[in-house]
Amino acid sequence: MELNRLYYGDNLTILRRYFPDESVDLIYLDPPFNSNASYNILFKEPGTGGEQSAAQITAFDDTWHWTSESEQTFQEIVKTAPATVVNLMTALKDAIHRNDLLAYLTMMCIRLLELKRVLKQTGSLYLHCDPTASHYLKILLDAIFGKENFRNEIIWSYRRWPAKQENFQRMHDTILRYSKTEKVIWNQLFEPLAKSTLKADGGNKILNVFDPDTGKRIRGKKTGEKSLGAPLRDVWEISVIAPTAKERVGYRTQKPEALLERIIKASSNEGDVVLDPFCGCGTAVAVAERLGRRWIGIDITHLAINLIKGRLKDNFPEIAFSVVGEPVDLAGAEALARQNRYQFQWWALSLVDARPFGDKKKGADTGIDGFYYFNDGGTTKKAVVSVKSGKVGVSQIRELNAVVEREKAEMGFFLTLKTPTAAMKEAATGEGFYLDSFGNKYPKLQLFTIEELLNNKSPDTPQKVGLFESYRAKKSKG
């Protein structure tokens, strides 16, 4: 199994196809669950031939329904899973019946069984969820991993603007930590001592306030070295990502790096393999890279894969990694476009390192599929990117030009699966050039076929700039 790899696809299929038994040291998963009702960035296109898997549609929808696939998976669990798991799932079916929740738990159960298979004997699994389903997931994990391997229920506590409601404000997520066996990779983390404790103990000049062997507190041992603090509690106060934070990449469900940093540091060592099978915009992957771990990420949308690719390339310019499941030739690109136009757009944008723009909501057409940024004499400037998988014509070039003007962008890139006509090329040339601050000329509108991009053609612009540069500085600090 190759490492430092992103897989596009349903994690169940990917795990079964590519992952040997006991090959991963740490798994962090943050699956979707009704957390974002407006997560409908995608919807099934009419007339696409129904090639999408139910898991794929559901992932975009972020809602779960009992379908024939749920029934099939449930039966597979009954036939193949250990008795404890079968008993639990059957009891749940009797108690809650074949409803949306059971559909969700069935989807999770089959994947958690597979994740346990790929976890090494010394490995840990962290399941990130919220109070909607954490109580069900905990009994499911008890059945799969054995309740003796339950290690922690971590509360990630945060603050955000409160909503008006007749409840206490819900301001925490739950992270369930399980080990595969009693022997588990573990690095104790510490948190600063309370000011009052430090004062009583004579400032922070005490080494190891806790004896690492006995875990007991050593009082009054003043060595002149700084205290490590107290062993970290299971309630973690970590702020949500601020709107202006450097690490923000614009993915709705993005988790803070500080959270992943604790998990990865505590439960893996340098060189270990970290897997995130629902990797979103790649927080676990990026933090694993920064901390010198090897990593694997899986996601079912090209939006996520596109963002992670950008995030990694910008923050670790020297990095080598591979992506499995993306089109590698024209036929593959055509198949993706037939399957789902939005998946195709997100993937195509990554061919020019452009960032997807906003969410695809039904009916909203801004004429912008993505933005590409470049540096002109110290100022960041942008190009509008438009992606077409269907028929193309000269009116689309005029439209792109109008969008470039409207957005006060400098350039426009037109990415097309079909070959552009001579009239389209002429119309693009007719819009002239962008002149940078050094007097260099760049065609204002640039047309690319997907085939050309697959053959490494790239936009002609001043120096491209990355969007997610937060790690570079952090990494160089060590």
Q: Which positions lie near ligand SAM, rule CB under 6 A?
A: 10-11, 30-32, 55, 59, 251, 253-255, 278, 280-281, 283, 298-301, 304
* Least Cβ distance, residue 21 to ligand SAM (angstroms): 20
Shortest gap between Cβ of 347 and ligand SAM (angstroms)? 14
CB closer to ligand SAM, 434 vs 471 = 471
- Closer residue to ligand SAM in complex, CB, 30/201: 30
Closest contact distance (angstroms) between CB of 414 and ligand SAM is 28
Q: At its nearest, how many Å lie between ligand SAM and the CB of residue 294? A: 18
CB of 60 vs ligand SAM, minimal distance in Å: 7
Residue whose CB is less far from ligand SAM, 58 or 227: 58
Closest residue to ligand SAM: CB criterion = 280
Cβ closest to ligand SAM, residue 289 vs residue 299: 299
Closer Cβ to ligand SAM, 206 or 304, answer by number = 304
Q: In whole angstroms, how close is the CB of 189 to ligand SAM at the nearest point?
A: 20
Q: Which is nearer to ligand SAM, 180 or 311 (CB)?
A: 311
Shortest separation between residue 400's beta carbon and ligand SAM, angstroms? 29
- Residue 108 or 384: which CB sits closer to ligand SAM? 108
Q: What is the 3-state secondary structure (H, E, C) of the chain?
A: CCCCEEEECCHHHHHHHHCCCCCEEEEEECCCCCCCCCCCCCCCCCCCCCCCCHHHHHHHHCCCCCCHHHHHHHHHHHHHCCHHHHHHHHHHHHHHCCCHHHHHHHHHHHHHHHHHHHEEEEEEEEEEECCCCHHHHHHHHHHHHCHHHEEEEEEEECCCCCCCCCCCCCCEEEEEEEECCCCCCCCCCEECCCHHHHHHCCCCCECCCECCCCCCECCCCECCCCCCCEECCCEEECCCCCCCCCCCCCCCCCCCHHHHHHHHHHHCCCCCEEEECCCCCCHHHHHHHHCCCEEEEEECCHHHHHHHHHHHHHHCCCCCCEEECCCCCHHHHHHHHHHCHHHHHHHHHHHCCCEECCCCCCCCCCCCCEEEEEEECCEEEEEEEEEECCCCCHHHHHHHHHHHHHCCCCEEEEEECCCCCHHHHHHHHHCCEEECCCCCEEECEEEEEHHHHHCCCCCCCCCECCCCCHHHHHHHHC
